[in-house]
Amino acid sequence: MYVLTAAQRRMLLELLTSERAGEDALFVGHTMGRDRTASGLCRLRLTDWVDEQNIIFTDYGRHVAEAMVTRMVDRQAYSEMVC
């Protein structure tokens, strides 16, 4: 089992957001370690490189990102209901 880093989780959410906005791929670039984060996601087969600076989801990566969002929303809804 592999635990995603915070940077990897953020990038998956960023990619999901860009995909929902109709963008073809997420621009990664080479700044602030984003390329290393994207490479890590590719090694885990969550994303694929389109070219040297853009990534897209694999089917598995999209499933993981959507599950993360579902858990985040459910947790938020629960805390709003309890408070």
Q: What is the pLDDT of residue 82?
A: 59
Supply the pTM of this predicted model: 0.83
Q: What is the pLDDT of residue 81?
A: 60
Q: What is the pLDDT of residue 75?
A: 75
For residue 33, the one-letter residue type is: G
Q: What is the pLDDT along the chain (83 residues), one digit of tens a residue?
A: 788 999 999 999 999 999 999 999 999 988 888 999 999 999 999 999 999 899 999 999 999 999 998 888 887 776 676 55
Q: What is the pLDDT of residue 73?
A: 83
Contacts of residue 55, Cβ cutoff 8 Å, sequence gap at least 6: 15, 25, 26, 28, 38, 41, 42, 47, 48, 49
